[in-house]
Amino acid sequence: MKVSHLTRPLIALLVVAFTGLGTAGAALAAQSPHDGGSQPVYSYANAVRETAWVDTGLKDPQGRAVRVAADIIRPAEPASQGRTVPTIMDASPYYSCCGRGNESQLKTYDSAGKPVQFPLYYDNYFVPRGYAVVLVDLAGTNRSNGCVDVGGPSDITSAKAVVDWLNGRATGYTSATGSTRATASWSNGSVGMIGKSWDGTIANGVAATGVAGLKTIVPISAISSWYDYYRANGASLTAGTPAGLATYVWNSGAQSGCSSVQSATSAGSPSNGNYTSWWAQRNYYANAANVKASVFVAHGVNDLNVKTINFGQWWDALGANGVQRKIWLSQTGHVDPFDYRRTDWVDTLHRWFDHYLMGIDNGVDREPVASVERTPDHWVDDPSWPAAPSATTLKLAATGTNGLGRLGSTAPAPGATESFTDNPGQGERDWTANPDSVLGSRVLFSSGTLTSDLRVSGTGSITVTASSSLNNARLSAVLVDLGPETIRNFEGSGEGITTLDTKSCWGDSAAGDSACFKDAAADTVDVDSYVISRGWADLGHYASLNSQQQLTPGKAYTMTFKLATTDHVVSAGHRLALVIGGTDNGQITGNSRPRVTVDLTRTTVQVPLVGTLPK
């Protein structure tokens, strides 16, 4: 994950303060259906705060057992009554390097090493309602030993081992190196994982193992395939390198002796864009058939950090395997729902955990599957998602102006072509700024003016047949809404939100751990064009992502690749356009300048449409 974005914290939630109760009657009420869900009847101030170091079963390169630190906060009353509780768990590499939430909260400890501050609102809100909250340091980060391997076996096993421990299947200890056992006798074995970005990615990966006891996951802006975080169909995205990301989050002490893991990381993620076994090991959607947990996805359709193809392919794979699903799609970039729809988010999340972890029949599983932000702060619900049952194939036809064509059902003339010269210094902003003007670095095809709204909902693709003047070529395909509208300013510093000076409190506070977090509001901008989906490729991977080929100049090659998953309504009076260009500056890397010729007779774009384009 790109450091500049992923270090942005998971946004905290708005919660109302309650007073915890400690009577036996109140304890029973916390896990009983009452007023729609679990109630804040347990004392947060008197909650048990402790750490277990869980044996992952892994060895570091020196042969030492890898233990991960699981910081726990749980209500004291149930255990004293012989009762057990479910767990909400967030496994992260960020608890000491970067922080979580809008205030970059870190874990803190007292002089004896006992946890004091649990970042985010989960503990403040859910512990009084009868949940344990467990925050896990991935191997090689914060207080865990071992090596960071960026989404691989070390990462996933770090979290899976804690789920196993909560179910009595793994061994825990009261210290990092000691032999005194720690047991989770207070746990009922039901676990829900949650987290934004890398944290949510770990939730995806653990769910893909099929581990027993994991009842639900809530991945927020999460990766489903690390290849699709760093690469796009053979092209390198501007996200840095996996090895570089590892150095950003690791505990330098724990990482001593991990050079072999770093070497394997670098070797397994070559800059030529090849899909290797290293990437395959970090492809979670390929193992969606193993998922037993329900999945509540939240993602911004304008997330240029964790690209939306990550939730799209995960969602489709889960659906193909009958997984219970729910999805929220905002207009933001890489932002947590707490910052764009706070009250509704905490209410929905509360009912989701109550249902899947406490067994409360509150109807959340029968509500609309999807909630989509249509315009800033205006949401619509859908009974299923995506809205388009299949993609519509659109054709590209030339007009009398070279570089400007027609998008729709009209077939191109026999032998029709369009050409552009790659300019690595330009990108989608340049390509879409003046859509009716000729620009040598791209070709643009637009529909006629829409007479009714047109919804693009789902994952599209493009099949391009093109030749290059050199032995290489980058390809970019950009789907654009041409017309004025107000959108969230996802390219701004807050990626669509503004953090306010006011605070709201959800849950209970204690010394060193406040339940109060900064509020946020929509940051909007007026635009004349809006990119709604993107896709990139290296034409040298036309035959296979496993191997890059040198192109024969002048020879045509055909390649099909996906466009980013999206949900957007192109309003009546607007036009839908497709841009085909070379290197998309700021999105993919490249430095050559081939002349690329597109064969229009063998190039089509498949768009998931609800509605029709004008003839």
Phi, psi of 246 (to 5 degrees): -60, -40
Distance CA 564, CA 456 (A): 11
State both tokens at 102.
């809008």
- Identified catalytic residue from 38, 43, 144, 197: 197
- Identified catalytic residue from 60, 137, 164, 303: 303
- Identified catalytic residue from 43, 60, 334, 568: 334
Give the containing element (helix H, strand E) for 464.
strand 461-468
The CB-side HSE value for 16 (13 A sphere, CA atoms) comes to 6
Distance CA 376, CA 394 (A): 29
Distance CA 467, CA 465 (A): 7
Strand partners, 49: 73
Query: How many angstroms separate the Cα of 375 from the Cα of each of 89, 304, 331?
Result: 32, 19, 7
Query: How many angstroms separate the Cα of 111 from the Cα of each of 114, 115, 255?
Result: 7, 10, 24
The CB-side HSE value for 277 (13 A sphere, CA atoms) comes to 2
Q: Residue 370 in 3-state DSSP?
A: strand
334 in catalytic set: yes
3-class SS string, 59-87: ECCCCCEEEEEEEEEECHHHHHCCCCEEE
Beta carbons within 8 Å of 561's beta carbon, 6+ residues apart? 232, 233, 461, 462, 475, 477, 535, 536, 537
State both tokens at 416.
């029709």
The residue assigned the tokens 């099929």 is 210
197 in catalytic set: yes
Give the containing element (helix H, strand E) for 530.
strand 524-538
144 in catalytic set: no
Active site residue ranges: 197, 303, 334
